[in-house]
Amino acid sequence: MKGRLLSQGYEESSSEFDADIVIFNTCMVRETAERKIYGKMGQIHKKGKEGVQIALGGCVTQVKGEELYEKYTYVPLIFGSRNKHNIARQLEQISDSQRVIDLSFEDEDLEYALNASRDSEYTAFVEIMKGCNNYCSYCIVPFARGGELSNTPERVLAEIQDLLNRGFREIILLGQNVNSYGIPFTDGIQREIDFPELLKKILKFSDLFRLRFITSHPKDFNDELADIIAEEPKMAHSLHLPVQSGSNEVLKRMNRKYTREEYVGKIVSLREKLPDIALSTDMIFGFPGESEADFLRSVDLLKDIRYKTGFLFKYTPRAGTAAAEYEDNIPVEEKLRRLNYAIDIQKEITREIASDYIGTTQEVLFDGKDKTGKKISGRDTHDMIVVADFPDDYIGKVVRMKIYDGNSFTLFGRPENE
Ligand code: SAH
Ligand code: SF4
């Protein structure tokens, strides 16, 4: 959206309180994210620039746009989760007397993607598919984003070619379930290409340094994909494989369609092929009916697998999903106790894994400044952040770095031969 608006002559404001227009792109996955939006919106309405226009779009509006349109009469524009590319046109339609609500589903064109304003000049996200058909019982995404649709391979390859021509080195393919790539395509024309085939085509780009993807659903993660990650030198040695729970009972009620044993089996087999693969996961604590024993099975799985990173959440019901009909029988304090216990265990594992890097050498693609603005930072194949005392002209370069220090989130390195 930022890219489209900049290309239409809009300028970015230094603060949301100085802006003529403030756009909220909303997330509905968890209640906490949703709640924050309303508070922030009220703040901008009261303390923002005189006459500020607020536009509200994304997943929350896709699900409850009509209700919000009635409730927040000071918001002149409500758009959806699949028509963000029309933002400039929608903004033109609003006036003092005209409010707009547009929740239509439309696919954005290649031009929209090519105009994207990106944070990094070397690492780029490329959306290959959108939506989800999996209906995990806790999850609002299938309702908020609609069914699965893939961008055509012609479009994906053209976008990547353009990025590589502009000097990008690393591509991260995006989709709620990348394994479903190709069924069906946005243009309705069937092609004989699936996700592994798409990866192979992208890996042929000679200017590409590294390729990653998120997210792969464990039920669809297979040997073919494991082989590509293990054998193709440009594939990153990192994989996000969200498990959600370590208990088969809970997995079943979550409608995840795999058992703990099947999940662990896939990881064991991948680790046999590629021992240094760095794994990350998502887990939900306090799902309806999660017993103490179920909870301990999740904790036990964290200890067994030893993920590099765990994104751990407390369950919040989302109206309209199947689990919202289950009795939410775990008090919030208990959900938090379980969550915090698991977070402490994961923190320790993350810290231990990071400390194992000290003394090793990693190939790092530097792609920007670090948080202090004084050093530069990049990532290695395991998605570890490595910071170095280099001049800015190292940004965009790949350097073999010897790691001499680190904490859970950041490693510090110097060139291997120094
Ligand atoms: N498509 C991705 C993730 C989508 S949502 C996948 O299938 O893995 C990101 C994460 O949010 C999920 O993996 C899940 O752990 C968490 N999440 C989704 N709905 C939730 C809910 N109702 N309560 C708490 N966490 C939730
Ligand atoms: Fe949600 Fe499940 Fe789809 Fe992921 S796979 S987006 S968790 S429904």
User: Which amino acid does the sequence have at 77?
Assistant: L
In terms of residue numbers, what domain contains 43?
2-102
Residues 352 and 367 in one domain: no
Per DSSP, helices labelled H in 121-167 are 141-145, 153-165
Q: Over 80: is that where the pLDDT of 418 sits?
A: no
Check residue 107 and give its pLDDT. 78
Please indicate whether residue 136, judged by its CB atom, sits closer than 6 Å to ligand 2: yes
Check residue 364 and give its pLDDT. 98
Number of domains composing the chain: 3
Integer CA distances (angstroms), 327 to 163, 221, 254, 317, in order: 48, 31, 14, 10
Check residue 253 and give its pLDDT. 98
Helices (H) and strands (E) in the chain, counts: 13, 17
Residues 400 and 313 in one domain: no
Residues 98, 131 contacting (CB under 8 angstroms): no
CATH of the domain at 393: 2.40.50
Check residue 171 and give its pLDDT. 98
Contacts of 248 (CB under 8 A, 6+ apart): 259, 260, 261
Residues 130 and 204 in one domain: yes
Ligand 1 atom nearest 140 alpha carbon: 19
**Digit-coded pLDDT (tens) for 186-235:** 999 999 999 999 999 999 999 999 999 999 999 999 999 999 999 999 99
Residues 173, 216 contacting (CB under 8 angstroms): no
Residue in the structure block whose two tokens are 């590589």: 164
Other beta carbons within 10 Å of 401: 25
Residues 190, 184 contacting (CB under 8 angstroms): yes
Residues 317 and 348 in one domain: yes
Q: Over 80: is that where the pLDDT of 19 sits?
A: yes
Ligand nearest to the CA of residue 310, numbered in listed order: 1
> How far apart are the C-alpha atoms of 66 and 81, rounded to whole Å?
14
Q: Is the dihedral of CA 115, 119, 123, 126 positive or negative?
A: negative
Residues 188 and 203 in one domain: yes
Residues 199 and 288 in one domain: yes
Residues 116 and 90 in one domain: no
* Residue nearest atom 1 of ligand 2, based on CA coordinates: 139
Other beta carbons within 10 Å of 266: 19
Q: Over 80: is that where the pLDDT of 183 sits?
A: yes
Q: What is the pTM of this model?
A: 0.95
CATH of the domain at 122: 3.80.30.20
The residue among 356, 376, 392 that closes a domain is 356
Q: Could you tell me the pLDDT band of residue 143, with boundaries at 50, 70 and 90?
A: very high
Q: Mean pLDDT over all residues of the chain?
A: 96
Ligand 1 atom nearest 318 alpha carbon: 22
The residue among 310, 329, 356 that closes a domain is 356
Residues 321 and 196 in one domain: yes
* ∠ Cα 10 16 21 (to 5°): 45
Structure tokens at 208: 């590409």
Residues 87 and 143 in one domain: no
Check residue 96 and give its pLDDT. 83
Residues 340 and 366 in one domain: no
> What is the average per-residue pLDDT within 26-48?
94
Structure tokens at 69: 């349109």
Ligand nearest to the CA of residue 280, numbered in listed order: 1
The residue among 102, 126, 144 that closes a domain is 102
Check residue 43 and give its pLDDT. 97
Residues 97 and 123 in one domain: no
Q: What is the layout of strands, in order, in the sheet containing 21-26?
A: 21-26, 53-58, 77-79, 100-102
Check residue 106 and give its pLDDT. 85
**Digit-coded pLDDT (tens) for 222-280:** 999 999 999 999 999 999 999 999 999 999 999 999 999 999 999 999 999 999 999 99
**Digit-coded pLDDT (tens) for 353-377:** 999 999 999 999 999 999 999 999 9
Ligand 2 atom nearest 142 alpha carbon: 8
Other beta carbons within 10 Å of 67: 10
Buried-state track 337-352, b at ≥16 Cβ within 10 A, e below 16: bbbeebeebbeebbee
Check residue 246 and give its pLDDT. 98
